[in-house]
Chains A and B, each alone.
Chain A
Amino acid sequence: MSKMNIDNFFRNNFLEHERNMESYSPEQWKNFEQLLDKEMPNKKNNKKGFLFNNILLFMLSLVIIISPLFFMHSDKAPVVAAKNGHNMIQANKLSASINQIHEIKNDNHEITEEVIPSENTTKPVRSDATIKIHINNNELCDVIKPDKEISSGISFIEELENDIDLCIPAKPVNIKYTSTLVVPSVKSKNTKNYLKQVDTNNTKKGKIKRSKVLVPHFNYNGF
């Protein structure tokens, strides 16, 4: 037993213990890293945050770019949204004209101009046909499935007219629409004739040309 300075006694013991102590576990670093990310964020290391920020930035840019499209015609054109069936067409802006372009797909059958809904059309549109509605400047709305066979182009137009009538309140609306026929898998001599998009300006009531599929444009004066 030797006489020792009490300070040295404790210092020696504690420092030796500090040197030999093993209390570290990888979990400690994980917890500390989270703290470090909060206190000293590092873009390079903070991949999640970095990714999140970039996605946020991208979404924001997208909104900024796209938003004018929504408001461009808002003063004159109704926004039309359609879901499963004609009567889902909705409009929230009135007293404006709509140019609706319909795409009709009727994949498994040879298509002739008669199946295109028009005033001259007498043959039915199949119930499984897919009709896409566009509003001004080809803005695409949801796909319409007729659900039931449309007996003729005339009735189609009438039904559409009635459906829009149901959805648009109050003010008269001038509705114009033309259609585009897309026949992806039809092998027919006439197929190529239907693959051309309608020139809206040349739309002529009741006429169907072989090179251009024209659906009548009509005025809808509402109620």
Chain B
Amino acid sequence: MNINTEIIEACKKNERSAQKFVYEKFFSRFYAVCVRYIKDREEALEVLNDGFINMFKNIEQYKCDGSFEGWARRIIVNKAIDYIRSNKKYKEVFKYIDDYKDVPVKIEIEEDMFDINELYDMVHNLPNIYRMVFNLYAIDGFSHKEIAERIGVSEGTSRWYLSESRKMLKEKLTLVSIMI
């Protein structure tokens, strides 16, 4: 999925054809990202479009020195986080934990054992903050420091939420695998 400098430059000039090219290229992928954070598909689409708007508005800041997709993905993820944090529906009270060491959780499992929709369901059924932290850290590669800054908690709190979400997911995976 190559987005060359020509397309980036055209996007910087607010040219619709270039913007359309970028939108078409990344729509499906970034929509999946939004759906991971926000269960409601319509809300996810709204967040995705707002994310694309943000991306095109700030494309001047992209200096072509790294992956465009990585840069754009961060914008979409940030938009999803902003949406969750600003929406009353998703509001939850944080537990503040000063210091916590997260421990990797392992599970005996076959990689293709589960249907993708089941996995989405498991993540969607996590409480909002747990889901947000798990997605940010485990899937989108944010560090605890970045998560802490992004959602306004301590790194210890971020670690604790991650650890708890892993435990919950492990339980669910175990339960479903037994049923299978």
For B, the interface residue count at a CB cutoff of 8 angstroms equals 40
Q: Tell me if B123 and A21 are in contact (CB < 8 A).
A: no
Q: Which residues of B contact A (CB under 8 A)?
A: 14-16, 19-20, 23-24, 27-29, 31-33, 36, 45, 49, 52-53, 56-57, 104-111, 114, 116, 119, 123, 134, 137-139, 166, 169-170, 173
Asked if A70 is at the interface of the complex by the 8 Å CB criterion, the answer is no
Q: Tell me if A36 and B138 are in contact (CB < 8 A).
A: no
Q: Tell me if A40 and B14 are in contact (CB < 8 A).
A: yes
Q: How far is the CA of A44 from the CA of B16 in the complex (A)?
A: 9
* 18 A-B residue pairings within 8 Å (CB atoms): A2-B108, A4-B108, A5-B104, A5-B105, A6-B104, A6-B107, A9-B107, A9-B109, A9-B173, A10-B139, A10-B169, A21-B28, A22-B28, A24-B24, A28-B45, A29-B20, A36-B16, A36-B53
Asked if A209 is at the interface of the complex by the 8 Å CB criterion, the answer is no
Given the known inter-chain contacts A21-B31, A35-B53, A45-B16, please indicate yes or no for A9 contacting B111, CB distance below 8 A. yes
Asked if A201 is at the interface of the complex by the 8 Å CB criterion, the answer is no
Chain A binding surface, main DSSP class: helix
Asked if A18 is at the interface of the complex by the 8 Å CB criterion, the answer is yes
Q: Which of B16, B56, B123 has the most A CB atoms < 10 Å from its CB?
A: B16
Q: Tell me if A3 and B49 are in contact (CB < 8 A).
A: no
**Which of A17, A18, A36 lies in contact with B56, CB distance below 8 A?**
A36
